[in-house]
Structure 1
């Protein structure tokens, strides 16, 4: 039983931590989505009125660079380093995202 105690602690902490992070991420993501939507509509309106001129190719290039910075390439080694914690964290994260 003593051998299982650290594993159970990792599973519990990972699950609870994942749930809390997932819940917070979903709430924040909703706010960010609304702000990005309002910003996009504002840019379109200003471009329509002739106040600004948008270069959509450059805008797309900058957006792709920003997204590539947050790519998941470095996540796999991190998750595999501590598999029980990562597994329970992932499950908790998904539950938190559903609940939030």
Structure 2
């Protein structure tokens, strides 16, 4: 399981379509399907129910989706926190009264 596959999986579930998710992610649909198949193989679980009208997560997929969103959110927060180091004003201010 890696970050990229989790990101792809979340986008697929959010959109509800492998084809549309592939377009948004700028990846070929067969390559995206392969990434999902690899993720399913790693977890030994079917994660998506595929129909002609799109995809929906299985029970295992719903659990992974919840955790994957939290992981992605935490990664974004970590990147922002690291980026903001040194961005805040720091130092000492002295005020005198006469």
Query: TM-score, normalising length from structure 2?
Result: 0.35
The structure carrying a bigger strand percent of its residues is 2
Query: TM-score, normalising length from structure 1?
Result: 0.34
